[in-house]
């Protein structure tokens, strides 16, 4: 797409998906009064703070399957994946604000090496220095560090105060330090390793999504429309020019530009149904090929092995936050990569998993109301999977295969992380606040073969899917260029988790916020 299209002058733009990125894209594009911006959100819309359900706002719980005592099924696509004969529950947000509306609110930047990887993939405008400027510009961080942080952006970031810190979270900090972790005050300072309180996108006890922080404040703009419960089936093309979208009900909406912000699962599925994707896959479903691109490949996720136990009496209170602390470090297998993270969960609830499904809380834990423990997470997995449509028909969930632990190095990394996690959960004072660990003991931890079986039997999704419309040059497997333009077609962009070339060494929400801001800032420069 040329410069004329990027100015948005007098143009109608459809943003498919009102999620973490889509809310930002819509808010920024509609700053230009000459652009007409329509957001199509497949899920429900909550236009004001007062209309937003308490469960979405309450930052103490993560309102996802397997995390909270109650979840609203209409906020979730209901995705599951099959692995080694087991059904794994994978919450995927289906509401305005997307994942930022129902996640753990963790707002981490990742490692400087992440953005060097991005730049080396053919994205010179995305090096660490450039994205650091964008991070500072978007955030309103309570950290007292004017060099590394901004304090005037739309996206609030804070850390647990002493008064807010839950007893189990405090015990985790002490236990991790007792086994060698160094205390960290700010995980978003460049490349720090250690244990500390995670930065979170919240104000007090309220989770702040990009819907609340970006979209809602500008909803009264006359050139901005949000249409909820409007699921897109496909992008429509005239030759190689995108001219609109078809909705699930068969209706057609035309536009001068379409921007896909539907997330790392839905975006590749929409592209593939539209004729943009791997030729063999499209032809197998009778879809005319518009552009032969590796859409759906390069799927990455932070897989997690949970070390769980029921908390002892009075260790957990309903007023406690579920997520507040983590130990982030580099394993001996991949030094200097920040490839490991131990995340402390004060509360998980397998009863809200799908029946028979396995998630972060494990499977149904023999009637135990809630569990606590440590999520052992590979921050820099080398295994990648794929997303592929099962049918040309819209409304059919695609096949999702993350191919966890298929790279040999990932199993080696995970074994070290789980062993480190075991040292923490069995160290004082955390050990005294937890009951008997579920499904694992010292014998399993000590035996390589037994540990590998335990990992394979318990590994779960981190719900952090990225990379399925890779931002890279063509020789590096790119689907979009560094401005989000889809190769081989015009008037079509992708701006969401799909474009991240490699998964950052951190919960990816803040990187997705940054990516949307980064692309929109470049657009404003080109339009000036």
Rounded to 5°, angle at Cα 311 from 306 and 312:
155
CA atoms within 13 A on the CB side of 65: 29
CB 61 within 8 A of CB 322: yes
- 76 Cβ contact partners less than 8 Å away, ≥ 6 residues apart: 64, 65, 91, 92, 93, 94, 102
User: Which run of H or E residues covers position 283?
Assistant: helix 279-284
**DSSP-H helix ranges across 82-210:** 99-102, 112-120, 128-138, 167-178, 210
**Rounded Cα–Cα distance for residues 219 and 193 (Å):** 40
Q: Which of 75, 302, 464, 518 is catalytic?
A: 464
Angle, to 10 degrees, between the axis of helix 20-29 and the axis of helix 509-527?
A: 20
Is residue 518 annotated as part of the catalytic site, yes or no? no
Is the separation of the CB atoms in 166 and 346 below 8 Å? yes
Partners of 196 in the β-ladder: 184, 326
β-strands 252-254, 241-247 pairing? antiparallel
Measured distance CA(456)–CA(466) in Å, rounded: 22
What positions carry a catalytic annotation?
A: 464
């Amino acid at each position: 797409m040329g410069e004329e299209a990027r100015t948005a002058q007098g143009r109608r733009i459809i943003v498919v998906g009102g999620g973490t990125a889509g809310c930002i894209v819509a808010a920024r594009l509609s700053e230009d009064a000459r652009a007409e911006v329509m957001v199509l959100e497949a899920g429900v819309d909550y236009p004001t703070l007062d209309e937003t359900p308490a469960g979405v706002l309450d930052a103490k719980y993560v309102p996802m399957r397997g995390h909270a005592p109650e979840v609203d099924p209409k906020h979730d696509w209901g995705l599951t994946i099959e692995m080694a004969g087991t059904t794994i529950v994978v919450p995927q947000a289906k509401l305005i604000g997307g994942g930022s509306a129902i996640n753990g609110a963790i707002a981490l930047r990742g490692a400087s090496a992440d953005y060097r990887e991005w730049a080396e993939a053919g994205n010179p405008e995305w090096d660490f220095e450039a994205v650091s400027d964008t991070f500072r510009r978007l955030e309103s961080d309570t950290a007292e560090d004017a060099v590394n942080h901004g304090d005037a952006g739309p996206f609030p970031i804070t850390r647990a105060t002493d008064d807010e810190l839950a007893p189990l979270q405090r015990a985790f900090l002490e236990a991790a330090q007792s086994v060698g972790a160094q205390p960290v005050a700010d995980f978003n300072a460049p490349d720090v390793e250690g244990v500390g309180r995670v930065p979170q996108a919240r104000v007090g006890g309220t989770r702040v999504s990009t819907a609340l922080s970006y979209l809602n404040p500008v909803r009264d703009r006359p050139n901005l429309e949000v249409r909820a419960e409007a699921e897109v089936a496909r992008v429509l093309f005239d030759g190689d020019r995108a001219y609109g979208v078809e909705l699930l009900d068969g209706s057609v909406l035309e536009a001068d530009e379409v921007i896909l912000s539907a997330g790392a699962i839905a975006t590749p599925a929409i592209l593939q149904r539209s004729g943009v994707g791997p030729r063999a896959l499209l032809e197998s479903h009778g879809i005319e090929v518009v552009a032969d691109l590796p859409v759906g490949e390069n799927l990455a996720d932070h897989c997690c092995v949970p070390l769980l136990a029921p908390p002892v009496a009075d260790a957990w209170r309903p007023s406690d936050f579920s997520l507040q602390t983590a130990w982030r470090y580099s394993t001996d297998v991949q030094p200097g990569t920040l490839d490991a993270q131990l995340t402390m969960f004060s509360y998980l609830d397998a009863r809200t998993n799908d029946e028979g499904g396995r998630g972060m809380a494990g499977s149904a834990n023999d009637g135990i109301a809630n569990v606590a423990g440590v999520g052992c997470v590979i921050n820099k997995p080398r295994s990648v999977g794929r997303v592929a449509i099962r049918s040309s028909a819209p409304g059919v969930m695609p096949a999702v295969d993350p191919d966890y632990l298929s790279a040999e190095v990932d199993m080696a990394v995970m074994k070290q992380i789980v062993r480190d996690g075991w040292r923490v959960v069995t160290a004082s004072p955390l050990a005294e606040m937890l009951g008997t660990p579920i499904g694992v003991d010292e014998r399993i931890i000590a035996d390589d073969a037994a540990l590998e079986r335990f990992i394979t039997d318990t590994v779960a999704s981190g719900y952090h899917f990225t990379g399925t419309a890779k931002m890279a040059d063509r020789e590096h497997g790119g689907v979009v260029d560094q401005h989000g333009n889809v190769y081989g077609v015009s008037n079509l962009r992708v701006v969401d988790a799909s474009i991240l070339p490699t998964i950052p060494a951190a919960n990816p929400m803040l990187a997705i916020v940054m990516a949307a801001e980064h692309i929109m800032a470049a657009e404003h420069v080109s339009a000036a």
